Structure 1
């Protein structure tokens, strides 16, 4: 019979005191944007199918797209798509050796990804509205 050893480790459960590095935030957001896009595929295919079903379906799809909440959702989907695409390009540049895999380059490329996404998000907002 083996003895169990209880490890005394410090546990920090106060989530307000935990600060993630920018590289971790970029990684988490990349995963979140992928999930958003996966869910968005169903919404986008439904609207596309409705618009292509008939002339009346097209009118219904147009009416749906005129709603503020739907425009806001479309803006969110486009923003998630932009972030995921830019983050994917960032990862490919690292994988192919065009960007060094150092902490400094990781931080800089994550910040550049955020800035490019903000610009593309603003452009998506102009496109949607």
Structure 2
């Protein structure tokens, strides 16, 4: 965005690909991008979540296997990312509704 020196009006222009890294988005723009990313992440990981839910409800043995799976550090990170994505998506969605 530039200002025309003659009339004092704002001139909008497209930015190039090289300028994207230097472009400063407002907070609403950053939240919007994160909202879309968290929605995509939740959509892609939905089969994984449904599989884990189904396995945990089948029997006590399968629940024990599920608990053993969550003792793995990588699985904890994946579950933590899913929880973060859900909470972020929920809060950002409420923000857009208000």
TM-score by length of 1: 0.59
Question: How do 1:1-129 and structure 2 match up within 5 A?
Answer: 12-14=16-18, 15-93=20-98
Deviation at 1:10, TM superposition (A): 6.8
Deviation at 1:77, TM superposition (A): 0.8
2: CA distance, partners of 1:54 / 1:78: 24
- CA RMSD in angstroms comes to 1.8
Paired residues, number: 85
2: CA distance, partners of 1:90 / 1:10: 28
Decide whether aligned partners of structure 1 residues 10 and 38 sit closer, same or farther in structure 2, where only a CA change above 3 A counts. Answer: closer
- 1:2-43, CA deviations, whole angstroms, 9 ceiling, x for partnerless residues? xxxxxxx87522132222222111111111111111123211
Deviation beyond 3 Å, 4+ runs, structure 1: none
| SS state at 1:18 partner | coil
Decide whether aligned partners of structure 1 residues 11 and 52 sit closer, same or farther in structure 2, where only a CA change above 3 A counts. Answer: closer
1: CA distance, partners of 2:48 / 2:91: 22
Long gaps (5+) in structure 1: 1-8, 94-129
Deviation at 1:55, TM superposition (A): 2.9
Decide whether aligned partners of structure 1 residues 62 and 28 sit closer, same or farther in structure 2, where only a CA change above 3 A counts. Answer: same
Long gaps (5+) in structure 2: 1-12
TM-score by length of 2: 0.75
